[in-house]
């Protein structure tokens, strides 16, 4: 008799056992897949991920609000390495600025600075650069704290900018502040002294009462003091250190820069060679403007056209010093001796300026000035035609250049 095995208990047990084996095999495959993951998905793991994301977002917010990364992010970066996306892919190209885009004109008093400032105001509007012209005229020497404050304020001006003020040279690099490019103009030391002497007393063509506003406390006996008496009788205004005036603008803020001598002279020359793009001389002002136009076209392009225009001459002719006249030959000799360091520096600047003109290929039409006291002579000479700039007078006034003989 044939037996039916399909419903036997033994066969049923085998089926159950086989089904259980398949289930265990599937579970085993699942657990094997999860076992290769670094961590299992769980509530604890989810919390860890959210905490890390929160810390990252908080650190980024702190970075933006505080202007820099917190120390913990710096530590993490140091641990992970200094390579960044910008290192690997390059930075975003910045806005292209002209070079140089930071210029300081620490203008020397009575060296045509008002002429240049008038031109700069017109040029700033034309070329769209920031011109900051300080109205402080009587504080050229600063304390260390004042120096740092001024240099920080200058460095915060949006470039391109040109900052100008009557102030002695500031050493930005000494205080680890980015150094700007310096420019300046000087003039014959005795001519500068004479212009300042009479300007303080009688002002300029801008107004008859201009001098009273500038020196309201000056008494009449001082205002009308004969310049020969001032020089020959050794008044403070006509003696050192008052006549030691130009060199400190280039020497700097060191106390020894205000003492007439070789140290201040050599320090000033060194600063000119290392920090100044150009130092021109007022006697060749048109050449100076042409040089500035070539060296700094983004500031001075078209400056000669403006300078020679009739509209500008109406402004420039109002800034000439009035009642200026030349002292006696004896007084000039004394004054020249007191200014021997000033003339050494002036000759150095003139030679450097002429060398720069030759390198650029600029031919000068200016007459060379005198070099030594031997060129002094009697004052009964024809007064040369004055220049159209802020320190010269009309032809009916005697010009201080008459005491120099041009070889």
Q: What is the pLDDT of residues 317-327, one digit of tens each?
A: 555 555 667 89
pLDDT at residue 116, as a whole number = 95
pLDDT: which is higher, 406 or 357:
357
pLDDT at residue 349, as a whole number = 97
Going through 3-57 in order, the beta strands assigned E by DSSP cover: none
Give the pLDDT band (50/70/90) at residue 392.
Answer: very low
pLDDT at residue 54, as a whole number = 81
Name the catalytic one among 127, 166, 298, 354: 166
Could you state, in order of their start, the residue ranges of all structural domains in the chain?
102-362
pLDDT at residue 7, as a whole number = 44
Give the pLDDT band (50/70/90) at residue 98.
Answer: confident
Average pLDDT over residues 303-307: 95
pLDDT at residue 138, as a whole number = 87
Average pLDDT over residues 225-247: 96
pLDDT of 270 > 60? The answer is: yes
pLDDT of 271 > 80? The answer is: yes
pLDDT at residue 340, as a whole number = 96
pLDDT at residue 79, as a whole number = 52
Tokens linked to 246: 């130009």
Q: Give buried/exposed letters for 131-165 (b at 16+ CB in 10 A, else e).
A: beeeeeeeebebeeeebbebbeebbeeebbbbbbb
pLDDT of 331 > 50? The answer is: yes
pLDDT at residue 95, as a whole number = 57
pLDDT at residue 307, as a whole number = 95
CA distances from 319 to 118, 281, 391 (A): 11, 18, 7
| Bridge partners of residue 299, in order along the sequence | none
pLDDT of 405 > 80? The answer is: no
pLDDT at residue 167, as a whole number = 98
- What's the pLDDT tens digit per position in 117-172? 999 999 999 999 999 999 888 899 999 999 999 999 999 999 999 999 999 999 99
Q: Which CATH superfamily is domain 102-362 in?
A: P-loop containing nucleotide triphosphate hydrolases (3.40.50.300)
Give the pLDDT band (50/70/90) at residue 351.
Answer: very high
Round to whole Å and give the CA distance between 1 and 86. 89
pTM: 0.67
pLDDT at residue 177, as a whole number = 94
Strand order in the sheet with 130-133: 130-133, 161-164, 102-105, 181-186, 276-281
pLDDT at residue 250, as a whole number = 98
Give the pLDDT band (50/70/90) at residue 27.
Answer: low
pLDDT: which is higher, 86 or 309:
309
Q: Does 145 participate in catalysis according to the annotation? A: no
* Ranges 72-76, 87-91, 216-220, most confident: 216-220
pLDDT of 387 > 70? The answer is: no
pLDDT: which is higher, 320 or 283:
283
Lowest-confidence segment of 4-8, 88-92, 129-133 by average pLDDT: 4-8
Mean pLDDT of the chain: 77
pLDDT at residue 378, as a whole number = 37
Tokens 């504080």, residue?
139
Which DSSP symbol is given to 42?
Answer: -
pLDDT of 37 > 60? The answer is: no
Which DSSP symbol is given to 32?
Answer: H
pLDDT of 108 > 60? The answer is: yes
pLDDT at residue 49, as a whole number = 80
């Amino acid at each position: 008799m044939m037996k039916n095995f399909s419903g036997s208990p033994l066969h049923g047990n085998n089926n159950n056992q086989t089904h259980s084996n398949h289930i265990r095999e599937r579970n085993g495959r699942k657990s094997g897949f999860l076992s290769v993951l670094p961590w299992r998905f769980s509530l604890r793991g989810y919390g860890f991920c959210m905490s890390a994301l929160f810390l990252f977002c908080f650190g980024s917010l702190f970075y933006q609000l505080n202007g820099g990364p917190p120390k913990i992010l710096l530590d993490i970066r140091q641990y992970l390495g200094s390579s960044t996306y910008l290192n690997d892919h390059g930075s975003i190209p910045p806005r292209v600025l002209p070079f140089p885009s930071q210029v300081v004109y620490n203008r020397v008093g009575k060296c045509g600075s008002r002429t240049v400032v008038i031109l700069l105001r017109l040029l700033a509007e034309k070329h769209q650069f920031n011109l900051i012209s300080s109205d402080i005229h009587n504080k050229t020497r600063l304390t260390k704290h004042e120096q740092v404050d001024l240099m920080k304020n200058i460095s915060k001006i949006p470039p391109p900018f040109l900052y100008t003020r009557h102030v002695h040279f500031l050493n930005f690099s000494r205080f680890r502040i980015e150094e700007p490019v310096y420019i300046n103009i000087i003039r014959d030391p005795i001519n500068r002294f004479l212009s300042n002497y009479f300007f303080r007393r009688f002002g300029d063509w801008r107004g008859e009462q201009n001098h009273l506003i500038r020196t309201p406390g000056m008494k009449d006996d001082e205002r009308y003091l004969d310049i020969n008496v001032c020089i020959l009788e050794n008044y403070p205004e006509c003696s050192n250190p008052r006549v030691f005036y130009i060199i400190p603008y280039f020497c700097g803020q060191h106390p020894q820069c205000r003492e007439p001598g070789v140290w201040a002279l050599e320090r000033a020359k060194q600063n000119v060679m290392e920090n100044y793009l150009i130092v021109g001389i007022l006697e060749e002002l048109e050449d100076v403007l042409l040089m500035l136009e070539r060296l700094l076209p983004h500031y001075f392009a078209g400056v000669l056209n403006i300078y020679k225009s009739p509209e500008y001459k109406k402004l420039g002719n109002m800034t000439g010093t009035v009642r200026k006249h030349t002292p006696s030959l004896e007084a000039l000799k004394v004054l020249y001796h007191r200014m021997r360091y000033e003339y050494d520096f002036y000759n150095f600047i003139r030679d450097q300026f002429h060398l720069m003109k030759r390198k650029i290929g600029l031919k000068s039409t200016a007459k060379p000035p005198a070099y030594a006291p031997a060129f002094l002579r009697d004052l009964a000479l024809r007064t040369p035609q004055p220049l159209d700039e802020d320190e010269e007078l009309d032809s009916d006034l005697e010009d201080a250049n008459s005491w120099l003989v041009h070889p």
